[in-house]
Amino acid sequence: MRAHIGDQLVVESPATGATRRDGEIVGIHHEDGTPPYEVRWSDTNDVTLVFPGADAHVQHFEHRPEADPVRAERPVSDKPSRRPLDPGDIGRRAAHERRRQRLTRAEVADRAGMAASYLAYLEERPANPNLAALTGLAGALGTTVARLRGGGVDLPPGGGEAGHHPELRELGPEECRDRLSTHGVGRVAVATADGLAVLPVNYEVVDDGIAFRTAPGAAPAAAVGTDVAFEVDHVDDAMSQGWSVLALGPARAVTEPEAVRRLTERAHTKPWAGGDRPLWVLIEPQRVTGRRIDND
């Protein structure tokens, strides 16, 4: 008998052939896939070490039908993406959220009630976890099954209801700098031949400057030699709260070879838009302000 993490172990009654018990294999102790296995039983959700007998067999996850989606009524923001679900999407979203919260795999696995080895498998390989595993993982990360499956990726954030006791407050200079320094995706407002444009860009913070890459002649390149506005924000739909930071200042092209090399080496990611984008644009903020919405 050989199995992979995510397969199902089925134990049947030798007398009647009726299924007596089944569970998901969430841990394997031998590289060749032979027993024993750590199994999460569907009837109790407990994980136990199992040495399968003659009345047990393995159903490989590649042949199992995909778990039915949650049928409960959902808000519009959980509408599934039009893009087909890649089996690895769930793991990538879970890994991203875990790292964002600065949690270890062991911490999330313990909260979700699953083996750390199974969580590693979900994050690193295409997998089709059942609804029980998805529900536990979503709860451990403070999100929803729909979100892990990609619900709402085609919709803008902030579609939830306002909080009961919202409080809008100004962010201080240090708070603004802390939020800007996380890098990621921001929006730059530039004047183009077609009028004012607000464009998303992958950005980096280097010293006190905000840098992004683009292609000469592309719309974001119109920022060079002008005063621009740059904005970054975060929205927490579940808590109806969020923040935004606005930076104002002149932008210039980075042309010094050593400065270009330094920016390229320190970049956390490549532009999501792809293609050749050799032009680094540096915004030197002269004024930075921010606001935050909290709820009691």
Q: What is the DSSP string of 133-184?
A: HHHHHHHHHTS-HHHHTTTTTTS-S--SPPPSSEEEEEPPHHHHHHHHTT-E
Q: Is 273 helix (H, G, I), strand (E, B) or coil?
A: coil
Report the distance separating Cα 200 and Cα 189, nearest Å. 9
Closest CA to 38 of 53, 23, 19: 23
Domain 76-148: CATH superfamily, name plus number: lambda repressor-like DNA-binding domains (1.10.260.40)
Q: How far is CA 214 from CA 46, 182, 282, in A?
A: 52, 20, 11
Q: Is 262 helix (H, G, I), strand (E, B) or coil?
A: helix
**Domain formed by 8-63, architecture:** Roll (2.30)
Closest CA to 161 of 232, 234, 241: 241
Report the distance separating Cα 67 and Cα 131, nearest Å. 6
66: exposed, middle or buried (Cβ count in 10 Å: 0-12, 13-18, 19+): exposed
- For residues 95 and 108, the answer to whether their CB atoms sit within 8 Å is no
Task: Tokens for 19, please give them.
Answer: 């299924």
In sequence order, what are the residues at sequence separation of 6 or more whose Cβ sits closer than 8 angstroms to the Cβ of residue 163?
A: 239, 240, 241, 293, 295, 296
- For residues 24 and 6, the answer to whether their CB atoms sit within 8 Å is yes
Report the distance separating Cα 14 and Cα 19, nearest Å. 10
Give the pLDDT confidence score for residue 66 in this predicted structure.
Answer: 36
Beta bridge partners of 11: 21, 56
Digitized pLDDT (tens) for each residue of the chain, 296 residues in all: 888 877 888 888 655 555 678 888 877 877 788 888 888 888 777 778 888 888 888 987 543 333 333 333 334 333 444 444 454 688 888 998 898 888 999 999 999 988 888 888 888 877 777 778 888 898 999 888 877 887 666 666 666 667 677 889 999 999 998 888 877 899 999 988 888 999 999 999 988 899 999 999 899 999 999 999 999 998 877 677 889 999 999 999 999 999 998 888 888 888 878 888 999 999 999 999 999 998 76
Q: Is 10 helix (H, G, I), strand (E, B) or coil?
A: strand
In sequence order, what are the residues at sequence separation of 6 or more whose Cβ sits closer than 8 angstroms to the Cβ of residue 158?
A: 235, 237, 242
Task: Tokens for 249, please give them.
Answer: 């200042």
Going from N- to C-terminal start, the domains of the chain cover 8-63, 76-148, 166-295
CATH number, domain 166-295: 2.30.110.10
- For residues 223 and 230, the answer to whether their CB atoms sit within 8 Å is no
